[in-house]
């Protein structure tokens, strides 16, 4: 039996030749979505998220970057005989994707740290216990984003409503880097930049395999 590896591929945003590379990386449905985005950065994030999935599958399964695919429910990447569980996220200058080759619901979130009114925001998504811990914590910014990304990742993995996710006590995510919550497993994600926080949540126990990529492999 193979190990329950979950692969984390991430990279920084880079420019690309739009007219040349879009048809080679994106399927028709995603090309239409891409054209619907107004901002340049949002287009980069969308395109590079798909490129990351394809680059990961090139390295893991030997699939060509130009392979045809279908994406169902934003988390099932269907290609040939494979149905692969994925979760894509982006924030600031980073794009990341979590990928499992075994049946496993995944949720991944990264967030760039920004100055906010944490005491006001935390009321909208945290339990009373979580709020009290955050408000009095000496590293408030770091812990806020640690909890925020955990809640977002849990939302993606479980497909529960925002209201139910808000009520889920995830205080363990503030005091340890990995563990389990309500039959799910979490691990804090660290990128190369300390101004980002992240969390990966899985429905199954997993071994995290992180891999930083450079955006330099595009079909011509």
Query: Could you tell me the CATH number of the domain that includes residue 8?
Result: 3.90.470.20
Q: How far apart are CA 62 and CA 200, in angstroms?
A: 25
Residue 172, pLDDT score: 94
Contact 141, 122 (CB under 8 A): no
Task: Supply the pLDDT for residue 159.
Answer: 95
> Across residues 61-67, what is the average pLDDT?
94
Domain boundaries, position 63: 1-104+204-220
Tell me the two tokens of residue 193.
């930049």
- Looking at the structure, tell me whether residues 93 and 148 fall in a common domain: no
Percent of the residues in the chain that have a pLDDT greater than 70, as a whole number: 99
Q: How does residue 220 score in pLDDT terms, banded at 50, 70 and 90?
A: low
The reply to whether 100 and 126 lie within a common domain is no
**b/e map 8-33, b = 16+ CB within 10 Å:** bbbbbbeebeeeebbeebbeeebeee
Above 90 in pLDDT, residue 31? yes
Q: Which range among 4-18, 22-36, 56-70, 180-194 shows the weakest confidence by mean pLDDT?
A: 4-18
What is the C-alpha radius of gyration for the chain, rounded to an integer number of angstroms?
18
Mean pLDDT calculated for residue range 133-154: 92
User: Looking at per-residue confidence, does 180 or 19 come out higher?
Assistant: 180
Task: Give yes or no for residue 1 having a pLDDT over 60.
Answer: no
73 and 135 housed in the same domain: no
Q: Are residues 63 and 47 in the same domain?
A: yes
Neighbour tally for 170: CB within 10 Å: 26
Least confident range of 32-41, 55-64, 131-140, 201-210: 131-140
């Amino acid at each position: 039996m193979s190990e329950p590896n979950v692969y984390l591929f991430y990279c920084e945003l880079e420019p690309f030749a739009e007219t040349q590379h879009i048809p080679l990386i994106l399927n028709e449905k995603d090309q239409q979505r891409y054209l619907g985005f107004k901002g340049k950065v949002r287009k980069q994030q969308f395109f590079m998220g798909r490129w990351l999935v394809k680059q990961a599958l090139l390295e893991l399964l030997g699939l060509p970057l130009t392979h045809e695919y279908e994406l169902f429910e934003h988390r099932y990447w269907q290609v040939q005989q494979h149905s692969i569980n994925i979760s894509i996220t982006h924030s600031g200058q980073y794009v990341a994707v979590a990928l499992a080759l075994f049946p496993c619901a995944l949720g991944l979130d990264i967030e760039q740290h920004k100055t906010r009114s944490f005491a006001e925001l935390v009321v909208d998504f945290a339990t009373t216990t979580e709020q009290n811990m955050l408000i009095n914590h000496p590293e408030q910014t770091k812990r806020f984003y640690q909890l925020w990304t955990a809640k977002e990742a849990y939302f993606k993995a479980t497909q529960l409503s925002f209201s139910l996710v808000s009520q889920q006590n995830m205080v363990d995510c503030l005091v340890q880097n990995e563990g389990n919550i309500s039959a799910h497993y979490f691990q804090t994600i660290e990128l190369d930049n300390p101004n980002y926080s992240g969390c990966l949540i899985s429905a199954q126990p997993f071994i995290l395999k992180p891999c930083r990529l450079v955006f330099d492999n595009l079909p011509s």
